[in-house]
Amino acid sequence: MLKNLFVHRRFLFGSFWSEFRFRYAGSVLGVFWFIVNPILEAALYSFVFSYLIGLRAGDGRSGSYTIFLLCGLFPWLAFSSLIMHGSNALNTSAVYLRRLAVSTDVFIAKESLIAFMTLVIYTIILIPVNIAFGNSPSWSMLILPVLAFLLVALGFGVSLIVAHLRVFFPDVGEILGVLVQLWRWTLPINYSLDLMPEWARPIMQFNPPYYFLSSIRDVYLNGKLPSPEAWIHMLAWTFVFGLLGSLVSKRLGAEVKDLM
């Protein structure tokens, strides 16, 4: 798989940049929708959970919920967007698959690059916002690109599996939309882990994105580097889904191209 990505790197980066620039072509704000959409969603959730429900970040500080939410919501939006777009990447790239000798994983890698660029933009936005909310920047923020890369790598592995299955079973796309929404609410994004029942907290280690999202949030809010346990889980999940995705791509890639 890595060899295919390297061989077709020029096509990969060229198609990525073209897609990134023209995804919102024709709209007034253009690529700024990458920023506007998550900010509007964060504002809505912040208002609902802070003022209507009275939920807090779990640390007892009034008004801390907004930045708490942003630090978890932005990475999740990039991750979930990668899965949704990546899962449909083979269908939307059918013309290229039929005409070009390019492996299927290249088109999913393109969506991963878009997700990584989006996450970089979110990271840059969050730094001054975090400072505005009274959290001092720390040297631990230098680790954020690594965490962003690992989160995108996880999404790449998941997308590889789902994208190939979606070609054979179109209903996967409809089911996936529901599952991604449910998946979001199993993670402490809109709420603190402290608000979960004690029996449910240990289960979080079996929820793949959990350590990625909590590590990114800890870096922003507490200036704390991920623990050894977090690193082990993040690397393990990335390896497992990367390996599974590679096997699925190798096994089904040729059949997928024949169906296009």
Amino acid at 29: L
pLDDT of amino acid 28:
46
User: How much is the mean pLDDT over the chain?
Assistant: 82
What is the token pair recorded at 156?
Answer: 């790449």
pLDDT digits (tens, 9 = 90+) for 148-173: 999 999 999 999 999 999 988 888 88
Give Rg (Cα) of the chain: 19
Q: Is the pLDDT of residue 30 over 70?
A: no
CA dist 7 and 102 (Å) reads 9
Predicted TM-score (pTM) of the model is 0.85
Token digits of residue 95: 């013309």
How many CA atoms does the CB half-sphere of 34 hold within 13 Å? 25
Six token digits for residue 225 = 């580097």
Per-residue model confidence (pLDDT) at position 260: 65
Which has more pLDDT, 59 or 238?
238
Mean pLDDT across the stretch 245-249?
Answer: 90
Average pLDDT over every residue of 249-258: 79
The secondary structure of residue 62, as a DSSP letter, is T
- What are the φ and ψ backbone dihedral angles of 102, each rounded to 5 degrees? -120, 135
Q: Which one-letter DSSP state was computed for residue 169? A: -
Burial classification of residue 2, based on how many CB atoms lie within 10 Å of its CB (0-12 exposed, 13-18 middle, 19 or more buried)? exposed
99-149 confidence digits (pLDDT tens): 777 778 888 988 899 889 888 888 888 888 888 877 778 888 899 999 999
Instruction: Pick the closest to residue 118 from 179, 214, 33, 211 (CA basis).
Output: 33
